[in-house]
Amino acid sequence: MEKNKIDQFENILPTEINTNNFGTLAIDLGSSTTVVVFQKENGEPPELLDLPPISRAPGEIPSLIWKSSEKEDSYLIGQEVIDSNLINEKENNLSQDFKRWIGSQEIEDIYDSKISPERAGEVLIHNIWKKVTEKVNIKRLVLTAPVDTYREYRTWLVNVCNSLEVKEIALVDEPTAAAMGAGLKPGSTLLVLDFGGSTIDMSIVTLEGGEGQASPIAQLVRFDGNNLEGKSTQILRTAKVLGKSGLRLGGKDIDRWISNHLLPEEKATNSILRKAEELKCELSNINIKETIHITKQVKNNENEEKMLRLSKKGLEELLIEKGLLKSIEKLFNQTINIAKRNSFELKDLDSIVLVGGGSRIPLIKNYLSNICNSIPFLTPPPIEAIALGALNLTPGVQVKDVLNKGVSLRCWNKKNEKHIWHPLFLAGQTWPTNKPLEIILSASINDQLSIDLIIGEPQEEGSNEIVYINGLPTLTTIKSKEEIKKINNSIISIPLDPPGEIDQDCIKLNFNINENCQLEVEGIDLRNNNKITSQNLGEIR
């Protein structure tokens, strides 16, 4: 049985608000649309904020930024770009689909804007903040982040929000926010698929509570050490994430696949990609027959008329050929395997929650139905579901989360006399950790003056990653389970005094993951019992 509407979403209306209102603001920055929702302190229903002239509709702002060539730091935001007919301009003053590149070490040529992705996101959030605070008083700001790029995205968000005058800033990952807003009773376990414009995120979340126990409201990640108001005086409640995984592939990539498939000789211009998106959305209507073709007329760079023509069956065959279903299957298996380490079984699932524009594609739901047997689906409004779920935060929520990927330490192996990557924490490890992990490290050469701590994350064998070939997103498979990706370029060096001798056990370290998902280390020098002071190795995830 399927619920097409969740009760809590039915009462959400655009609102007339005033500066006497105090409450929580949720911003879900999306690749295509950014959603802005406000909730007053008195517990009234959430309100979609109308922010003219940048909003397209109440609560919805197109994720578009245009930089003026005439004035420094002068921008048009959201709907202003569309109303000014700048969306089709060939100049690279326009920034769109920037979310996927925030925190990325390499930006592909398909992003050709003068504005950096991080700057575009900052401009959007700051402009939203300025317009919102003219209307209401914000006590708490809740932001959302994708799973696959959570660490880099979080770092960027912290920097962006440093200048905002708000008492509390919280972060919730997107699929978990959707689970929290899905309306199921405490004690339920959900599989959440969030298919957005630039990422596919999957997670298994248990809504603890039921049978007389207090209920959780959301998975919360605290920004910069800030506690939620009242946390010190209220009993902590938990939102438990059992497993999660993500892939930097989304609806925007499907648009490029459609464009390349139907017009292989044409460059995928903004106007062609928008028509491809329209075609995709219309073919996702469950009432359209498989064999009926839909045609969209477009103009190429030479102003020549071209046709995009495709059927629902043709779209599904294209998505299967490109490997979309296989990638979702791999995400599913990764998520399930991580959750199994936390005593989960597939029969424990109560429901599947689909959010994000890509979740409207019938092929996706039908595929999940086949591999999940008869588990019922929940389909809250796909655009605003995540922002609304993120609003479901109260003081006194404790994080019970799991690592999306493992953590390894590069160290000297005395037996094989070479450097190896030694696992510290595996994917699925709950955090904050209850007790530290102890590691003893030895010197690799005579008269060694220091031991360097280099942290990496294992790349799971058989999982997918996205590469761009001639501007076209292509799924590839990670073949080696030995592949390790350094988490950051910084190296913490621990001095050895006196210098170490080859194969001599020198230091004992205790590794811990704190409540901000940061890796901490402290220890002692085994040769003289001198204390090694606590150091932060940075955020993991």
pLDDT band at residue 106 using 50, 70 and 90 as cut-offs: confident
Same domain, 131 and 13: yes
pLDDT: is 33 or 478 the higher one? 33
Domain presence at residue 255: no
Percent of the chain beyond pLDDT 70?
81
Same domain, 363 and 444: no
pLDDT band at residue 222 using 50, 70 and 90 as cut-offs: very low
Task: Please compute the mean of the pLDDT values over residues 213-217 and round it to a whole number.
Answer: 41
CATH for 520: 2.60.34.10
Domain that holds residue 429: 403-539
Cα distance between residue 279 and residue 315, in whole Å:
10
pLDDT band at residue 231 using 50, 70 and 90 as cut-offs: very low
**Overall domain count for the chain:** 2
Same domain, 233 and 346: yes
Same domain, 483 and 390: no
Cβ(94)–Cβ(64) below 8 Å = yes
Which pLDDT belongs to residue 275? 92
CATH for 195: 3.30.420.40
Residue where a domain stops, chosen among 368, 386, 401: 401
Mean pLDDT of the chain: 80
Which pLDDT belongs to residue 385? 78
Secondary structure (DSSP) of 27-88: EE--SSEEEEEEEETT-PPPEEPP-TTT-SBTTEEE-EEEE-SSSTT-EEETHHHHHTT-TT
Task: Please compute the mean of the pLDDT values over residues 489-497 and round it to a whole number.
Answer: 79
Cα distance between residue 392 and residue 177, in whole Å:
8
pLDDT band at residue 219 using 50, 70 and 90 as cut-offs: very low
Domain presence at residue 300: no
Domain presence at residue 294: no
pLDDT digits (tens, 9 = 90+) for 33-92: 999 999 887 767 888 999 999 999 999 999 999 998 777 778 999 999 999 988 877 677
Q: Which residues pair with 38 in a beta bridge?
A: 25, 47
| Most confident stretch, 33-47, 244-258, 514-528 | 244-258
Which pLDDT belongs to residue 148? 62
Same domain, 123 and 65: yes
Q: In terms of Cα–Cα distance, which of 114, 126, 178, 118 is closest to 147? A: 178
pLDDT band at residue 119 using 50, 70 and 90 as cut-offs: very high
Cβ(38)–Cβ(46) below 8 Å = yes
Cβ(456)–Cβ(440) below 8 Å = no
Residue where a domain stops, chosen among 373, 401, 429: 401
pLDDT: is 316 or 459 the higher one? 316
Task: Please compute the mean of the pLDDT values over residues 277-299 and round it to a whole number.
Answer: 91
Same domain, 351 and 472: no
Q: In terms of Cα–Cα distance, which of 319, 251, 253, 315 is closest to 283? A: 315
Task: Please compute the mean of the pLDDT values over residues 422-444 and round it to a whole number.
Answer: 80
Same domain, 397 and 409: no
pLDDT digits (tens, 9 = 90+) for 395-419: 434 435 667 777 888 877 777 677 7
Same domain, 377 and 487: no
Residue where a domain stops, chosen among 401, 420, 440: 401
pLDDT digits (tens, 9 = 90+) for 138-154: 888 888 887 666 677 87
Cβ(337)–Cβ(461) below 8 Å = no
Domain presence at residue 272: no
Cα distance between residue 248 and residue 476, in whole Å:
12
> What H or E segment, with its residue span, contains residue 140?
strand 137-145
Q: In terms of Cα–Cα distance, which of 112, 30, 111 is closest to 78? A: 30
Domain presence at residue 482: yes
CA 486 to chain centre: 20
Domain presence at residue 14: yes
Cα distance between residue 48 and residue 331, in whole Å:
32
Task: Please compute the mean of the pLDDT values over residues 316-324 and round it to a whole number.
Answer: 95
Same domain, 513 and 396: no
Q: Is the pLDDT of residue 332 over 60?
A: yes
Q: Which two tokens stand for residue 125?
A: 């959030």
Please provide residue 44's backbone torsions phi and psi, each rounded to the nearest 5 degrees.
-70, 165
Same domain, 427 and 397: no
pLDDT: is 22 or 8 the higher one? 22
Which pLDDT belongs to residue 307? 92
Which pLDDT belongs to residue 228? 35
Domain presence at residue 320: no
Q: Is the pLDDT of residue 6 over 60?
A: no
Same domain, 419 and 380: no
Domain presence at residue 295: no
Same domain, 220 and 340: yes
Q: In terms of Cα–Cα distance, which of 159, 147, 135 is closest to 19? A: 135
Cβ(143)–Cβ(155) below 8 Å = no
492-497 contacts at long range (C-beta below 8 A, 24 or more positions apart)? 492/452, 492/453, 492/521, 492/535, 492/537, 493/450, 493/451, 493/452, 493/453, 494/450, 494/451, 494/452, 494/453, 494/532, 495/449, 495/450, 496/443, 496/448, 496/449, 496/450, 496/451, 496/525, 497/525, 497/530
HSE-CB of 464 using CA atoms within 13 angstroms:
26
Of 8-22, 171-185, 413-427, give the lowest mean pLDDT range: 8-22
Global pTM?
Answer: 0.67
